[in-house]
Amino acid sequence: KQEVTQIPAALSVPEGENLVLNCSFTDSAIYNLQWFRQDPGKGLTSLLLIQSSQREQTSGRLNASLDKSSGRSTLYIAASQPGDSATYLCAAPYNNNDMRFGAGTRLTVKP
């Protein structure tokens, strides 16, 4: 069974700081791993999808890494901005049709 854990549950940083969000998963035989952003009262928006054959994926100030052997993924946010404040969730496949989500890390970037 796939279990996904995200630590910390909440994080507060000053604007401009670089930060790392952590995601761990129990079943390393994954096809890919996804990172999502959720704004309060909104649905999820896909940020990055890393295939199992990749080590990292980049989009703008975001960089996600994947280490299947250790069951870990990280989301690196460079030069954080107040607009980055949101909840970030990672998700790993349980099988080809099912995704398991972490509970998320609530990020606050203070001006």
Give the residues lining the site for another protein (CB under 8 A).
4, 9, 31-32, 34, 36, 41-46, 49, 89, 91, 93, 95-104
Kindly state the smallest distance separating residue 22's Cβ from another protein, in Å.
Answer: 14
Looking at the Cβ atoms of 7 and 9, the one nearer to another protein is 9
Report CA-CA distances (Å) from 32 to 38, 41, 90, 102. Answer: 20, 27, 11, 15
Minimum gap (Å) between residue 98 Cβ and another protein: 6
DSSP state of 16: T
The least distance separating another protein from the CB of residue 20, rounded to whole angstroms, comes to 19
CB 33 within 8 A of CB 66: yes
Bridge pairing between strands 32-38 and 86-95: antiparallel
In terms of CB distance, is 62 or 99 closer to another protein?
99
Cβ-based nearer residue to another protein, 69 or 97: 97
User: What's the rounded Cα separation, in Å, for the pair 27 and 37?
Assistant: 23
